[in-house]
Each structure stands twice: as structure tokens, then as C-alpha cells.
């Protein structure tokens, strides 16, 4: 009830929720009360969560914040949300996001932008919460849920966490099932939590992660007790600082934050080493080929027949065209066009195949560093603090928006786990985050190191 009234009071100005499931929340909470009374409480019994609109929730609007999925109600539940409900969690509703998770500011949502609960002191300017999981991050920061599900294809958990002073972890590719998550770029998409602190993120991830026969890329490995790693000593851990992440024009406050993180880890007994990830500079261009290519293929299913919106046409072709022209927003259309182009005969080798090769080189950079004994890598999470809604430069040039992902996309390209932790504030008093990148399936080291930085 407390969360539902908080949502009622704050959501009109924050716009974090696109669907509130009050009736369902109360019914689930009542069942939690009963289970608690009979001593059968699950790990998340009665914990109210918000769910990113990308997760299929049975009988509840699941629209990926796109007009083309207008009023779509799946008849099945995603594996990640099923896992949460099985552990007793309570669903408050569905959270706003960039359309089909394409964006870094939550401004591409059909349901309008999310407003970051943080603002510069003395200013009335509304800031973005980051994206694409902007609703998840804003809802957690404004205490409109105790934690939220999110997804990350190129940074969509970590960048919004950094912009809102929350903790977000993208686990290793394959750790959480993708079944029932609306697909963006299937070889990069991963689910993870956004939570108030490192411990909450660890508790949530343990519930979300599983082996799932319904997703052939989900891994058959036991899920560790992540919470046990929170606060574990980092003495003797080797933390790598990649020199290629010192990008030109990096604001002084980001550099200072990074140095602060290095000092904290050093004081806690970690060994700091400079490392090189030589192919870093190709990550962003390669990502913006691979991700749209996969997206153009995944989004082919929205044809006006199977889901949501349908426009009338003289024949089936015109019906497709009108439905897709009307149903997809500008950024989604841009991705479909780029993706179709790089996959087309004649350009496939020059772009898509090349990008896949670059992806392998990026992955090898990390493998080399980990083989040299590095346990985790520390970088800034984002190149800046949250920016204004409607930022003219970014609106005019999509590539400027893509630059937000400069520190996060390599992690998806290599399939590694990455966590964003709030570590300080900008000179304007806005939250800033650091990122820790780990070995495959070593989320535990990330939780240990993140609790030093937090």
C-alpha cells in the first residue's frame, strides 16, 4: 500500500510506470502474508518490484514501450519474472523504457520520457534518467519500488543506474534466461536487477538467474549465493585499469571519480595494475552494426498480424507497411534500416562480418588480461552525469547519443558481467557511477569489489 500510494503521488511527474497493477500487487501481497504466516516464506517474500516493460507478464500489458505492441497481453510469463514470483516477490507494475530498449535517455518511449528524480540544485531543468531502463532506475531512485528488473544490450542497466545513484548489474551472457524478454539483439541482451544497494542487487540477481531449457543460450551452472560475496575481502585481488578508457575530452570530475575508486580499492588491499584493451576504440562502431543487424531481424515479426497494432491497407503488403510505419518510432526505424543495410548482399562482408571479427578481437582483449591474472576491471560507468531532457545536441545527432555507451558496450560484445555502482557526485551534485567488469560467471568478485566502492 505504501508503494502504491507513493506511485500514485509521484508517477504523474516522473512517468516511471506505464502500467500499475494495483489489484495484482495486493493479491500477491496477501498470498505473501499467508505464506509468511505459515512459515513458507521465499527469498523475496512480499518484496514489491517494478518490471521493465520488456518482460512478458501473463495477462498484463507488455508493450516494450512501442506503439506497435499496443495493448499486447502475453499468455505466458518470462522466466526471469516467474523466478521472482516463485520466490515471493510482488509485482507493482510495468516500467517505462526506450522503445524496444533502443536508446540511452528513455526519450524514445512511445509513452513519453521518464524524469530523473535527481536535478541540479536550484535548477528546474528536468534530466533524463538514462536508458533504456530509465523507468527501472527512476522508480528505484524515487523509492517507487524496492527493486526493478532491467535489461542491458549495450549499457541499458548500467548507464541508467549511474545516472540515478542506484546499483545495476548486467550478469554474464547466459546467466539469466532470455525467454519471454522481447528480443532486441539476441546475442547481446541480458537481464539484471537495478536496486538500491549492492546487497539488494545480489539478492535479486540470485532469484532472477537460472538455467532454462526454454533459452538455448542459458547456461547450465548452479547459481551462487551472491549475497555471501557482498562485503567479502578484496585483499590481493588484481584490479585492472584500462588505459584506453581515458578518452579524449573526459570531464575532470569523471577522472577524479575513477581515481577515487582506485584509491578505495587500493586501501582495501587490492593490487592496481594498468592494462591495455587495444580494440576498445572499435567497440562502439562494431556494436552499432551488430545490434541493429540483430534488431532488424528480430523486429521482422511485428507485421500487424500477430501482435498489437494493425493498420488497414488495400492488400497485405500495404497493411504491413502502414502498420510498421505507424507502429515504430523514429529510432527503431533507423535501427531497422541500418540493420537491413549491413546485412544486405554486397554489404554483409564489409560491415556485418567485419563487425563480428572486431567483436572477437574485443573479446580476446579481455581474455588476455584475465589470463594475466586480472580479477576485475575498474572504469567509469558513463562519460558524464545525467543530461537534460531534449538535449539539442543529442537530438540533432544520434551518434552523440550513442557515445553514452562508450564504457559499457564492450562488456556486452564480450558477454562479460558488469556492475555500475554509485561512487560520487558531479560538481553539480548529480550522482556518478563506476563500473566493474569481471571474468565470465564471476559476478561474486564484482559484488565484493562493488561493496568497497559503494
3-state helix, strand, coil split of the chain in percent (to 5) is 45, 15, 40
Whether the CB-CB separation of 101 and 149 falls below 8 Å is answered with: no
- Residue 78 annotated as catalytic: no
Whether the CB-CB separation of 35 and 41 falls below 8 Å is answered with: yes
Task: Quote the least distance from Cβ 189 to ligand GLN, whole Å.
Answer: 7
Interface residue with ligand GLN among 21, 83, 96, 104 (CB under 6 A) is 104
Check residue 152 for interaction with ligand GLN (CB under 6 A): yes
10 Å CB burial of residue 412 (0-12, 13-18, 19+) is: buried
Interface residue with ligand GLN among 19, 116, 132, 445 (CB under 6 A) is 132
Task: Quote the least distance from Cβ 102 to ligand GLN, whole Å.
Answer: 5
Site stretch for ligand GLN (CB under 6 A), options 36-44, 100-108, 246-254, 317-325: 100-108
Task: Quote the least distance from Cβ 271 to ligand GLN, whole Å.
Answer: 31
Extract the C-alpha cell encoding 425.
Answer: 557526485
Task: Please work out the total of residues on this chain that contact ligand GLN, with binding judged by CB under 6 A.
Answer: 13
Residue 227 host element (H or E): helix 226-229
Interface residue with ligand GLN among 155, 168, 174, 339 (CB under 6 A) is 155
Residue among 147, 112, 99, 182 at smallest CA distance from 389: 112
At residue 158, the 3 state secondary structure works out as helix
- Report which DSSP code applies to 421: E
Phi, psi angles (nearest 5°) of residue 124 = -100, 0
- Residue 276 annotated as catalytic: no
Check residue 154 for interaction with ligand GLN (CB under 6 A): yes
How would you classify the pairing of strands 418-425 and 90-95? unpaired
Site stretch for ligand GLN (CB under 6 A), options 102-110, 215-223, 270-278, 353-361: 102-110
Whether the CB-CB separation of 23 and 150 falls below 8 Å is answered with: no
- Residue 156 annotated as catalytic: yes
For residues 106 and 218, which CB has a smaller minimum distance to ligand GLN in the complex? 106
Interface residue with ligand GLN among 48, 50, 88, 103 (CB under 6 A) is 103
> Hey, what's the torsion of the CAs at 246, 247, 252, 253, to 10 degrees?
-80
Site stretch for ligand GLN (CB under 6 A), options 13-21, 22-30, 151-159, 244-252: 151-159
Whether the CB-CB separation of 381 and 450 falls below 8 Å is answered with: no
From the candidates 32, 105, 136, 156, which is the catalytic residue?
A: 156
Check residue 174 for interaction with ligand GLN (CB under 6 A): no
Task: Quote the least distance from Cβ 105 to ligand GLN, whole Å.
Answer: 9
The binding site for ligand GLN (CB under 6 A) comprises 101-104, 132, 152-156, 184, 291, 405
Amino acid at each position: 500500500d505504501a508503494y502504491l500510494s507513493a506511485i500514485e503521488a509521484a508517477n504523474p511527474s516522473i512517468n516511471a510506470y506505464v502500467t500499475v497493477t494495483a489489484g495484482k500487487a495486493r493479491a500477491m501481497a496477501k498470498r505473501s502474508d499467508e505464506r509468511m504466516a505459515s512459515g513458507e516464506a521465499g527469498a523475496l517474500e512480499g518484496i514489491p518490484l517494478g518490471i521493465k516493460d520488456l518482460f512478458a507478464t501473463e495477462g498484463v500489458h507488455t508493450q516494450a514501450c512501442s506503439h506497435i505492441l499496443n495493448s499486447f497481453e502475453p499468455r505466458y510469463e518470462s522466466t526471469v519474472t516467474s523466478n521472482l514470483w516463485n520466490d515471493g516477490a510482488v509485482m507493482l507494475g510495468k516500467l517505462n523504457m526506450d522503445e524496444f530498449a533502443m536508446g540511452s535517455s528513455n526519450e524514445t518511449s512511445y509513452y513519453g520520457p521518464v524524469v530523473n528524480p535527481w536535478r541540479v540544485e536550484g535548477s528546474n531543468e528536468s534530466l533524463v534518467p538514462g536508458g533504456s531502463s530509465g523507468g527501472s532506475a527512476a522508480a528505484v531512485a524515487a523509492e517507487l519500488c524496492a527493486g526493478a528488473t532491467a535489461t542491458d544490450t549495450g549499457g541499458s542497466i548500467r548507464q541508467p543506474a549511474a545516472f540515478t545513484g542506484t546499483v545495476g548489474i548486467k550478469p554474464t551472457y547466459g546467466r539469466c534466461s532470455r525467454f519471454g524478454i522481447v528480443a532486441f539483439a539476441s546475442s547481446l541482451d541480458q537481464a539484471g536487477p537495478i536496486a538500491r544497494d549492492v546487497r539488494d542487487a545480489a539478492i535479486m540477481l540470485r532469484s532472477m538467474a537460472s538455467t532454462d531449457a526454454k533459452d538455448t543460450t542459458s547456461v547450465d551452472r548452479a547459481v551462487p549465493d551472491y549475497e555471501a560475496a557482498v562485503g567479502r575481502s578484496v585483499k590481493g585481488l588484481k584490479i585492472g585499469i584500462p588505459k584506453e578508457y581515458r578518452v579524449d575530452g573526459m570531464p575532470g570530475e569523471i577522472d577524479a571519480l575513477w581515481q577515487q575508486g582506485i584509491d578505495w580499492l587500493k586501501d582495501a588491499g587490492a593490487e592496481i595494475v594498468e592494462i591495455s584493451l587495444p580494440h576498445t576504440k572499435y567497440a562502439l562502431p562494431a556494436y552499432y552494426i551488430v545490434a541493429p543487424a540483430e534488431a532488424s531481424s528480430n523486429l521482422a515479426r511485428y507485421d500487424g498480424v500477430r501482435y498489437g497494432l494493425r493498420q488497414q491497407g488495400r492488400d497485405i503488403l500495404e497493411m504491413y507497411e502502414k502498420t510498421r510505419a505507424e507502429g515504430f518510432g523514429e529510432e527503431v526505424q533507423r535501427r531497422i534500416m541500418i540493420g537491413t543495410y549491413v546485412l544486405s548482399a554486397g554489404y554483409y562482408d564489409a560491415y556485418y562480418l567485419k563487425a563480428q571479427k572486431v567483436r572477437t578481437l574485443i573479446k580476446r582483449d579481455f581474455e588476455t588480461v584475465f589470463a594475466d591474472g586480472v580479477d576485475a576491471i575498474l572504469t567509469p560507468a558513463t562519460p558524464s552525469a545525467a543530461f537534460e531532457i531534449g538535449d539539442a545536441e543529442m537530438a540533432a545527432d544520434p551518434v552523440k547519443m550513442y557515445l553514452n555507451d562508450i564504457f559499457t558496450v564492450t562488456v556486452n560484445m564480450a558477454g562479460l558481467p558488469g556492475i555500475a555502482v554509485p561512487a560520487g557526485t558531479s560538481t553539480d551534485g548529480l550522482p556518478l557511477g563506476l563500473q566493474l567488469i569481471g571474468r565470465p560467471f564471476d559476478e561474486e568478485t564484482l559484488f565484493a569489489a562493488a561493496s568497497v566502492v559503494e
